[in-house]
Structure 1
Amino acid sequence: MRPATLPGTEPEQKRRPPLAWALTALSLSMLLPSLSVSIANVGLPNMAVALDAPFNEVQWVVIAYLLAITTLIVGAGRLGDLAGRRRLLLSGIAVFTLATLLCGLAPNLPLLVAARALQGAGAACMMALTMAFVGETVPKDRTGSVMGLLGTMSAVGTALGPSLGGTLIAVFGWRAIFLAAVPLGLLALALTFRVLPDTAPATSSARQRFDSVGAALLAITLGAYALAMTIEGNSFGPLAIGLLLVSGAGLALFVITESRVSSPLLTLSMLRDPALAAGLITSALVSTVMMTTLVVGPFHLALALDLDPAFVGLVMSAGPAVSALTGVPAGRATDRFGAEAMVVIGLSGIIGGAVALSLMPTAAGVIGYVLPLVAVTAGYALFQAANNTAVMKDVSPRRRGLVSGMLNLSRNLGLMTGASVMGAVFAFAAGTSDVTTAAAAEVARGTHRTFAVAALLVAFGLAIVLGLRLRSRLSPGVRPGRADAE
């Protein structure tokens, strides 16, 4: 009988699947969830007409998807660690693909929203576990390159969604934006089954009981926060404030519960690891700023620069295109020069681009907006590859799913916060409650001040990272909560 092998030993290395096929499976698992966000947005007007529903109700096609991902992603990551990541990833892809088919066949809006929520549940498993599989499929010295590739696939999905969705709708109707993804889901399912390794816990001590109470409390907490950030758009009325209070109460109960159960969903001592905490905080801050470019950009281009809608869309696609092109080189730079240095350079690039956007006069025209946007998005691609590598590289195999889920959660929370909070900052800075009717000078003022705030947010994140580096140099030693942590 062959002896059991520990993670990282030579026998495990030999069991790694063929790299090209494994990366194809992981790339599809990253591409499909991001594509399903952007491709659905472009179809909302057609859905409203076809299903005879008001636009505020049709928006739940997007909200339900994002809400399901946000509430379930951390629990999905932890459950994958306990029950086996390959098994849960296969289940997630199967649920995602089935739900995608149901979306394309839904006869009315309530069933479409329900199918989208189910699709989001599958996407949560895919997003939480894809990065966790990097440790099982590639050597450590290539982690950055693979993280860059996964970041590229996410950017490709985001960039491809509007153009692909528009074409499918024009030729086949809105249902095609869902039905066309079903074959890709089946391909991802087949590849994952064939080439990704089984990652069931190696020891009996790893087979702990899943913390269902903690998972429920965290889902309520995150769900209430997500609704507070989205349900009233850029304003914060009584409903949003009430949801924030529910979220705060849920967080307090979650912390109390996690300190008392024997097998918690999230070991709170993990957050004492400064590298993990800094990675999560900066991920949320940077995602907030990236959403700012999507919220502010269309108004600035259309109203301040007086561009027609087709040109606005072309300029807006520059951001995701740059992220897609720079993702893999950013990953390679991370492997060569180190994750910590690249995190600092990436954050510095975002700050520089945001400062330029806050100072650039409208007389500079489209070039004056696009060049700083390229700096922001290139810095984002470099930060993402480096930060994901820094957070995931030394994580214990038994916690890879959980930490991956936390990292994706921080990004999701940042995106939702950016859509709501930075949208409110933009409207406040422009001096109007309805930006669509604002004068060009007001929109330009709002753009400049909003990106000034964005630069300050990322500067705060950079200060955290630099403080961590200084602390590690003054007090070298083993970082808690990483590979040595249970």
Structure 2
Amino acid sequence: MHQIAREQRTRWAPVAAMGLAMLVVTVELTLTAVTLPLIGADLGAGPAATTWVVLAYALPTAALAIPAGRWADGADLRRVLLLAVTAVGLTSVLAAAAPTFELLVAARVLQGVAGALVAAVYMPLIRTVVAPSARGRALGYVTTIMPAGTMAGASLGGLVAGAFGWRPVFLIKLPLLVAVLWLTHRTVPPAPGGLPMPGWTPVREALLLGGGVTAVLLALDRVQAAPVTAAVCLAVAVPPAVLWARLPDARPLLAFARGRRSGPLLLALLLACTIQGLTAFLLPYAVGSPELLGLALLFHIGTLAAVSPLAGALADSRGPQTIARLGIAVTLAGLLTLLTLPADPGLLDLAWRLVIIGGGQALFNAPHNAALLAAAPPGQTGAAGGASITVRTLGMTLGPAATALAWTAHGDLRAGVLLLAVLQLAALAAQSTARTRP
């Protein structure tokens, strides 16, 4: 058992270290996105090719989350976090110094692997250093740090790229990484386990599960532009998924996914995360003005950051699943207000609707993570956390793909909004069927 099981005492400094580490992992996507045109011009890559700078990071982070989490369950979390954060720094330097586009993509893949290791520690560390009665608040604080930092990171990345070019953008997080290393070294308690060498079994699991998840994500990404390619990717995903399911080490995780408590929670997470289709596809096409949408999204992200601590506190006092259900319901209500969005919306028309949706997402995220953490069997927190990361990524990829199809079929915002509303309603139903106790 971890130390907290004996002491029942919360240590907030390691929570801060974990929050900053997760910020580094999530901000990497927005930091890089603002540099894509500059990277393409400097390294001779077209717009379609430059998207691989983002995909090369996101794919391994999602694909390796489960094997990395399983490995972290048997390791010293302090050493894993120190290793992972150091690897993020080193691979960032490699990306900044890449002389060719191909080497940049390779560096981004390595960054994604390091990001998967950071994410693997997230839930196990919270379980180790936070008392059960305070886990909602801890997850709420981490959820606050991530959107606020992502918003600031995107702005800072744009300023740095405009003044100094794209390469320094990969380096601006290094001081933050040093702070995370110092906090981790000073405050995270050591534990038995060390850094075990992965044997053939976890490597085989990483190859099979990683290959299957990557193929599914690529299929979702290409379902509109290249449906035949998407179908081939889905077909390619089946054999490794079947082989992985037959591994002995996969049985506990499959049992977790089928559990009467945890299974509906994972399904609710998948469906709820399709809301990403709203900001990643529907609104950019419906609004048309990047400047207007950018300003409106500040209200959305600001609400996420402001409400998340309250959501965590409510999860501790009222129960995480109750607050998570409330969050989905509020998100659904916010979505339905978009059905009355004017054809030529102004900032106020967008802002108040996005405030409701952002508040709903905040009420869902931290409480739902707390519910999943409570549902994870002892000794499998990392694997369960990895499963949630993979499911979340699949949902965030499915949302834009589904709304793109709805837009193509009907050519307006309402069809996509109604589709997302149906998915949120299904998420609410799944969340409501999850048992409160194992």
TM (norm. structure 1) is: 0.84
- Report what 1:28 is aligned to: 20
In structure 1, how many angstroms separate the alpha carbons of the residues matched to 2:405 and 2:74?
41
Is 1:157 aligned to residue 149 of structure 2?
yes
1:90/1:192 contact within 8 Å kept: yes
Superposed CA deviations along residues 52-81 of structure 1, whole A, max 9, x for unmatched, are 221111111001001111111111100000
The residue type paired with residue 79 of structure 2 is R
Is 1:345 aligned to residue 335 of structure 2?
no
| Per-residue deviation, 1:208 | 10
- Report what 1:269 is aligned to: 255
Mapping 1:123-138, distance limit 5 Å: 123-138=115-130
Aligned with 1:421 (options 402, 408, 423): 402
Is 1:88 aligned to residue 67 of structure 2?
no
In structure 2, how many angstroms separate the alpha carbons of the residues matched to 1:237 and 1:379?
33
In structure 2, how many angstroms separate the alpha carbons of the residues matched to 1:264 and 1:248?
16
Superposed CA deviations along residues 249-298 of structure 1, whole A, max 9, x for unmatched, are 3222222x23xx3x447532222222211221111211111332231112
2:264/2:433 contact within 8 Å kept: no
Against the structure 1 CA distance between its residues 265 and 187, is the aligned structure 2 distance closer, same or farther, given a 3 Å change threshold? farther
The residue type paired with residue 212 of structure 2 is T
In structure 2, how many angstroms separate the alpha carbons of the residues matched to 1:264 and 1:352?
38
Is 1:334 aligned to residue 315 of structure 2?
yes
> For 1:398, what is the secondary structure of its paired residue?
coil
Is 1:148 aligned to residue 129 of structure 2?
no
> For 1:180, what is the secondary structure of its paired residue?
coil
Aligned with 2:280 (options 294, 299, 311): 294
The residue type paired with residue 449 of structure 1 is A
| Per-residue deviation, 1:13 | 4.5
2:59/2:112 contact within 8 Å kept: yes
| Per-residue deviation, 1:132 | 2.1
- Report what 2:175 is aligned to: 183
- Report what 1:443 is aligned to: none
Aligned with 2:163 (options 136, 156, 171): 171
Is 1:448 aligned to residue 429 of structure 2?
no
Against the structure 1 CA distance between its residues 266 and 396, is the aligned structure 2 distance closer, same or farther, given a 3 Å change threshold? closer
| Per-residue deviation, 1:228 | 1.6
The residue type paired with residue 62 of structure 2 is T
Is 1:71 aligned to residue 63 of structure 2?
yes
> For 1:200, what is the secondary structure of its paired residue?
coil
| Per-residue deviation, 1:98 | 0.5
Q: Percent identity?
A: 27
In structure 1, how many angstroms separate the alpha carbons of the residues matched to 2:395 and 2:49?
24
> For 1:83, what is the secondary structure of its paired residue?
coil
Is 1:387 aligned to residue 368 of structure 2?
yes
| Per-residue deviation, 1:135 | 1.2
Mapping 1:207-226, distance limit 5 Å: 210-226=201-217
Q: CA RMSD of the aligned region, Å?
A: 2.3
2:223/2:230 contact within 8 Å kept: no
In structure 1, how many angstroms separate the alpha carbons of the residues matched to 2:219 and 2:119?
23
The residue type paired with residue 323 of structure 1 is L
2:124/2:382 contact within 8 Å kept: yes
| Per-residue deviation, 1:216 | 1.8
- Report what 1:475 is aligned to: none
- Report what 1:317 is aligned to: 298
2:73/2:124 contact within 8 Å kept: no
In structure 2, how many angstroms separate the alpha carbons of the residues matched to 1:364 and 1:94?
45
> For 2:192, what is the secondary structure of its paired residue?
coil
| Per-residue deviation, 1:362 | 2.8
The residue type paired with residue 215 of structure 1 is A
| Per-residue deviation, 1:452 | 0.7
Q: Which runs of 4+ in 1 moved over 4 A?
A: 5-9, 207-210
> For 1:317, what is the secondary structure of its paired residue?
helix
Against the structure 1 CA distance between its residues 42 and 6, is the aligned structure 2 distance closer, same or farther, given a 3 Å change threshold? closer
The residue type paired with residue 335 of structure 2 is A
The residue type paired with residue 176 of structure 2 is L
> For 2:34, what is the secondary structure of its paired residue?
helix
In structure 1, how many angstroms separate the alpha carbons of the residues matched to 2:343 and 2:123?
41
**Deviating more after overlay: 136-145 vs 148-157:** 148-157
Against the structure 1 CA distance between its residues 9 and 312, is the aligned structure 2 distance closer, same or farther, given a 3 Å change threshold? closer
Aligned with 1:283 (options 241, 263, 269): 269
| Per-residue deviation, 1:6 | 6.4
Is 1:457 aligned to residue 392 of structure 2?
no
Against the structure 1 CA distance between its residues 200 and 458, is the aligned structure 2 distance closer, same or farther, given a 3 Å change threshold? farther
**Deviating more after overlay: 363-372 vs 111-120:** 363-372
The residue type paired with residue 241 of structure 2 is L
TM (norm. structure 2) is: 0.93
Against the structure 1 CA distance between its residues 314 and 360, is the aligned structure 2 distance closer, same or farther, given a 3 Å change threshold? closer
The residue type paired with residue 138 of structure 1 is V
> For 2:189, what is the secondary structure of its paired residue?
coil
Q: Which has the larger radius of gyration?
A: 1
Against the structure 1 CA distance between its residues 242 and 209, is the aligned structure 2 distance closer, same or farther, given a 3 Å change threshold? closer
In structure 1, how many angstroms separate the alpha carbons of the residues matched to 2:168 and 2:223?
28
2:4/2:129 contact within 8 Å kept: no
Against the structure 1 CA distance between its residues 191 and 169, is the aligned structure 2 distance closer, same or farther, given a 3 Å change threshold? same
The residue type paired with residue 239 of structure 1 is T
Against the structure 1 CA distance between its residues 53 and 64, is the aligned structure 2 distance closer, same or farther, given a 3 Å change threshold? same
Superposed CA deviations along residues 90-144 of structure 1, whole A, max 9, x for unmatched, are 2211111110111111111111111111011111111121232111111111111
> For 1:370, what is the secondary structure of its paired residue?
helix
> For 2:166, what is the secondary structure of its paired residue?
coil
- Report what 1:105 is aligned to: 97
In structure 2, how many angstroms separate the alpha carbons of the residues matched to 1:266 and 1:412?
21
